[in-house]
Amino acid sequence: MKKIRNLKFVIRNYQRGMSYVELIVVLSIFATMSSIVVFNYDIFQAKIDIKNLVSDIAFKIVEAQKSSVSGKFPPTAQQSQLSSLGTISTWKPSYGIYIDLATDPKSFTYFTDLDQGDDYDISTCPGSLECLEKISITKGNIISRLDVFYTSAPTVAVSVSNVTILFKRPNSEAIINSSSGFTFPVSHFQITVTSPKSVSSVIKVYRSGRIQIN
């Protein structure tokens, strides 16, 4: 009879459910785990967004390189401007990208070098003069740094506020310029992009025309 009573007591204890203290502990553990998962997901998503961004910028640089080497003629809207610039209608222009951190670190410009000046003549974009396309950067990401590396010191970064990366037919080599000028021959140029979560990635453009993403 005593054993039956003890068994009933055990069954009653199992059926009584969780106490308030136990419930609070479980909810606290769940909340902590959820916050860790959400934080890690945000970092993961930021890394994906940054990788996509550097790929987009690198793709535009490659597009400029291919368009120049293949002798692609500019769009119809720009062809009428060639005669006013004293350029023959059969000439194939250079293509490139332009970045200016002081003006807008959340965009970059894809352009044709109509006047053969080896730089970008700033104009209303898109569709005016040399501008082909202005690419906006979203999700709070920015181009955070522009650095030039000289052949005399290829590991020392020198920061600049703007850059023109250009390709001129028939060569696939990159022509790299900045309004601040370069003191020595350039080894390569580095574009750094950063997310609001402080996740960064870089694009390296070498004078040889090689493009590398890190």
The CA-atom distances, in angstroms, between 50 and each of 136, 147, 148, 201 are 14, 18, 21, 7
Rounded CA-CA distance 39/188 in Å is 36
The residue assigned the tokens 């920015």 is 142
Burial class (CB in 10 A: 0-12, 13-18, 19+), 174: buried
| Multiple choice CATH, 43-213, 3.55.40.10, 3.30.365.10, 3.30.750.24, 3.40.50.970 | 3.55.40.10
- Write the CB contacts of 106 (distance below 8 Å, at least 6 apart in sequence): 136, 137, 141, 142, 143
Tokens of 28: 């606290």
- Residue spans of the domains in the chain: they are 43-213
DSSP string, 158-196: EE-SEEEEEE-TT--PEEEE-TT--SS-EEEEEEEEE-T
Averaged pLDDT, groups of 10, the chain, 214 residues long: 50 56 70 62 84 94 94 77 58 89 94 85 73 92 96 92 94 92 92 94 95 92
pTM of the complete model:
0.77
Q: Which of 141, 143, 109, 103 minimizes the C-alpha distance to 127?
A: 109
Q: Residue 136: what pLDDT?
A: 94
